[in-house]
């Protein structure tokens, strides 16, 4: 396996590196800014390699966009209602950056992280580390966080870890947008399978409101592979509220991948995770001309602190692991 790094740019005089791994016909690139994944080159059934994630051209593009392309999200992925929550009888107030709500946490995606690289003949591991102080964007606790990408031929494993000195919340995810066609075509002709019999329905402000069985809302039933465009064509009220899919699905525990995304190019993405939920987001809020040209599979705990396992206390370590496997 071949690894190289180069200078991608600087932010306030701080260098930002790009890391690139080549493993046979599979390529992977990421940058120190936001632990952002900028390239996953995967072969199709004819052996042609294309980038299957949405990416931007320059570091300046990444610092100015608002769509979380390819980055780590934390401390808390998703929306927190009214930008506040209660922890140990204390009310914590956060910035309201999405109407009255708080979206996608502590700006992990805007930080320059410190990398270390481990290489062998079988894999390359890129580990990013960063500390965030107590009170950063309102969150309690000084936290030490690590994001690790382990790259093998046609597979990427993402590990998130964190510790704290004061009780806080932690619910991280990766916000890569996939398009297995390797083009800018809409994602409607992808097929998706999700091992989930229930999802969180949203209220009018996109806050998870209640659990709903997929049997009661067939547009959300992906237990068998289904064309995404067919789901988007449904008149389900939940799709009108969110402008498409932007919903947490409760994942079943399985020995194999819980999620599978396919395209007629022959490419398949299989996802296996230790997280209990995935937010399937169909790129509804991407800018004009790019709407629904990529989709996110955000493995995480349920947003809005629904799952109290998001609470991280001193002496504990937050850990999650998600593996993306690409086949053709």
Residues serving a catalytic function are 175, 298
Residue 190 burial (10 A CB sphere; 0-12, 13-18, 19+)? buried
Evaluate whether 72 touches 34 at the Cβ level (below 8 Å): yes
Evaluate whether 171 touches 76 at the Cβ level (below 8 Å): yes
Compute the radius of gyration of the chain from its Cα atoms. 19
* DSSP-derived secondary structure for 2-36: EEEEEEEEEETTEEEEEEEEEETTEEEEEESBTT-
The Cα 264–Cα 93 span in angstroms is 47
Question: What backbone torsions phi and psi does residue 308 show, to the nearest 5 degrees?
Answer: -70, -5
DSSP 57: S
* Cα dihedral 208, 212, 215, 220 in deg (nearest 10): 0
Evaluate whether 103 touches 75 at the Cβ level (below 8 Å): no
Evaluate whether 294 touches 178 at the Cβ level (below 8 Å): yes
The Cα 82–Cα 201 span in angstroms is 18
Evaluate whether 300 touches 61 at the Cβ level (below 8 Å): no
Residue 251 burial (10 A CB sphere; 0-12, 13-18, 19+)? buried
Residue 227 burial (10 A CB sphere; 0-12, 13-18, 19+)? middle
What contacts 13, CB < 8 A, 6 or more positions away?
A: none
Write out the two tokens for 102.
């708080």
């Amino acid at each position: 396996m071949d690894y190289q790094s180069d200078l991608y740019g600087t932010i306030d005089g701080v260098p930002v590196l790009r890391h690139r791994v080549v493993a046979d016909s599979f390529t992977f690139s990421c940058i120190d800014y936001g632990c952002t994944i900028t390239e996953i080159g995967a072969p199709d059934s004819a052996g042609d390699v294309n980038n299957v994630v949405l990416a931007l051209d320059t570091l300046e593009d990444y610092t100015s966009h608002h769509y979380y392309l390819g980055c780590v999200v934390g401390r808390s992925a998703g929306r927190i209602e009214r930008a506040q929550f209660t922890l140990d009888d204390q009310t914590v107030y956060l910035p309201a950056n999405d109407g009255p709500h708080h979206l996608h946490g502590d700006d992990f995606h805007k930080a320059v992280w410190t990398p270390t690289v481990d290489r062998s003949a079988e894999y390359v591991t890129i580990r990013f580390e960063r500390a965030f102080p107590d009170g950063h964007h309102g969150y309690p606790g000084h936290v030490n966080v690590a994001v690790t990408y382990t790259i093998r031929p046609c597979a990427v494993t993402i590990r998130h870890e964190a510790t704290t000195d004061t009780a806080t919340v932690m619910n991280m995810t990766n916000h890569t947008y996939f398009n297995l066609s390797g083009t800018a075509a809409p994602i409607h002709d992808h097929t998706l399978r999700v091992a989930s019999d229930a999802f969180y329905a949203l209220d009018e402000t996109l806050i998870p409101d209640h659990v709903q069985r997929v049997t009661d809302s067939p547009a959300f039933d992906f237990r068998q592979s289904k064309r995404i465009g067919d789901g988007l064509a449904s008149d389900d009220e939940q799709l009108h509220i969110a402008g498409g899919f932007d919903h947490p699905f409760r994942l079943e525990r399985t020995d194999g991948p819980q999620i599978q995304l396919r395209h007629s190019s022959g490419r398949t993405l299989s996802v296996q995770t230790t997280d209990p939920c995935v937010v399937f987001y169909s790129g509804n809020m991407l800018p004009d001309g790019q709407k629904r040209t990529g989709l996110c599979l955000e493995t995480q705990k349920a947003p809005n602190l629904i799952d109290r396992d998001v609470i991280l206390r001193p002496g504990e370590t937050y850990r999650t692991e998600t593996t993306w496997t690409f086949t053709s």
